[in-house]
Amino acid sequence: MRFTVAIRAFFAALFHASMAERIATALQPEDDSSASARIPAPSKPQPAATATPQRPVRSDAVSLLATLQREARFVDLVQENLDQYTDEQVGAAARDVLRDCRSVIDRLFQLHPVVDRQEGQSVDIPAGFDTGRFRLTGNVAGQPPFSGSLVHHGWQATRCEMPRWSGSDEAADVVAPAEVQLP
């Protein structure tokens, strides 16, 4: 359950700025000054904590986008004005980008269908079903259990291994560095 919520939150934050703000707010530690007043001070002095250097912070969304750009040129394709190209040229470029994007997603998330059935087959939805796992469309009336035709099998990640950021704070939001060829 927690894994599913984490993945849903990740993609909601990645694609919706308002959701990213709400999630960031929810993740802030609570400032409860009255709780610190109830905790007695230690009776003997504590040794000073050694300062550990804090690693630069980078959003996992930016890390994913940077990985898709580095390994599949995804951002380049999406940002390109395609009006000047024929459908055949766009299709040829997209084929390579999509293949490489799939490789990245397979490696980082290892996706599997939520429902292991072919689209068009009958699926029974039990009472108390999880709305995060099933989205009902069509004539949704009455109470579950429901029976319907599978339109899309859905996807679920069985792992999430995002690359760790080791760069500077200044470059944390850089999806792809500028490339400069020297003479």
Mean pLDDT of 71-84: 93
> Which regions of the chain does DSSP assign to beta strands (E)?
111-112, 122-125, 146-149, 156-157
Please state, in angstroms and rounded to a whole number, the distance separating the CA atoms of residues 158 and 66. Answer: 21
Please state, in angstroms and rounded to a whole number, the distance separating the CA atoms of residues 155 and 133. Answer: 9
Mean pLDDT of 129-143: 92
pLDDT band at 36 (very low <50, low <70, confident <90, very high): very low
**What pLDDT shows up at residue 68?**
95
pLDDT band at 179 (very low <50, low <70, confident <90, very high): very high
Q: What is the tens place of the pLDDT at every residue in 40-76?
A: 555 555 666 666 666 558 999 999 999 999 999 999 9
**What pLDDT shows up at residue 127?**
93
Please state, in angstroms and rounded to a whole number, the distance separating the CA atoms of residues 24 and 10. Answer: 11
Name the pTM for this structure: 0.61
Closest CA to 116 of 152, 80, 75, 83: 152
**What pLDDT shows up at residue 113?**
95
